[in-house]
Amino acid sequence: MMTMTMEKVKKEKSCRLRSIAISISPSTSTLKCPEHKSKTFAECQNADAIVLTYACDRPSTLDRLSTYWLLELRRLEIKVPVIVVGCKLDLRDEQQMSLEQVMSPIMQQFREIETCIECSSLRQIQVPEVFYYAQKAVLHPTAPLFDQETQSLKPRCIRALKRIFILCDTNRDGALSDSELSFEKDIHSLDGALSDSELNDFQVKCFSAPLQPTEIAGVKKVVQEKMPDGVNENGLTLTGFLFLHALFIEKGRLETTWTVLRKYGYDNDIKLRDDLLPSSFKRTPDQSVELTNETVEFLKEIFHTFDVDNVSSAHEG
């Protein structure tokens, strides 16, 4: 078993990753010692990801994962990504079932398993990939974003992406234009869709590079083929925007969605960072607080934008 712990430091009001510490637990036989077993479980409880290994030439070791280790992690209420790794791939019997056939029912039962892979340290087969997937599970976890059972985005993720969409839809037409898609602009300028221009701004903000017109057309084509109401005459709609991120996650490109979320101030729990939500400031008893003229005008504009029932006019009348 291998555990990975992510260390964070704050710098310039943002949280960045500093390092990932890796701990390798004692062998199973050593774990018969209560002291070693207790230490291993303590490390698991502090870990950000866990790698469970089995021997490809010994199927019984794989059975042990589902009948003991995974159950133990659940008993201890350890809710972190798990990567299952089959070692000694070079000794694997070619007559055995494929990795997908073997792991599919286990992954259905234990949704905490992020991915599974086989490797051989002797032949140097997919060893770097083991660490890549383990690190990826720490940096770009699936669980906060996606519900594996329902195969859908989680509510908190949807709320965050909806907020980002609204910030990007600068002309307030409910769709992301091509310029907005190349992924933000001034909130003053929301139309229910992101135009090409809005899409492009979004892309530059999040990934520091614009999308070419053919790439933007390709993105919208993919969305429209799978989700017809994901694109309208104005551009990419909120439905399409959410579909696109669900597609990224299903294809294993979690880093794309996480990059967007972190760029807009969300932490690993998909909550806005504390530094973006300033606490109340100090004032003396004889001081009062009021909104600036600019803030009042901004709020008025937002209210009128969403005043679909013309409540303000009725009230004024």
The CATH-assigned architecture of domain 152-275 is Orthogonal Bundle (1.10)
Mean pLDDT to the nearest integer, 33-44: 80
Question: What span, in angstroms and rounded, lies between the C-alpha atoms of 190 and 216?
Answer: 20
Number of C-beta neighbours around residue 251 at 10 A? 9
Greater confidence, 56 or 177? 56
Asked whether residue 312 carries a pLDDT value surpassing 50, the answer given is yes
Name the pLDDT band for 169 (thresholds 50, 70, 90). Answer: confident
Q: Are strands 235-237 and 174-177 parallel, antiparallel or unpaired?
A: antiparallel
Greater confidence, 315 or 221? 221
**CATH assignment of 2-139?**
3.40.50.300
Could you state, in order of their start, the residue ranges of all structural domains in the chain? 2-139, 152-275
pLDDT in tens, 93-138: 877 788 888 898 999 899 889 999 999 999 999 999 999 998 888 8
Of the ranges 22-36, 70-84, 222-236, 297-311, which one carries the lowest mean pLDDT score?
A: 22-36
Which are the contacts of 158, defined by CB distance < 8 A and separation ≥ 6? Answer: 242
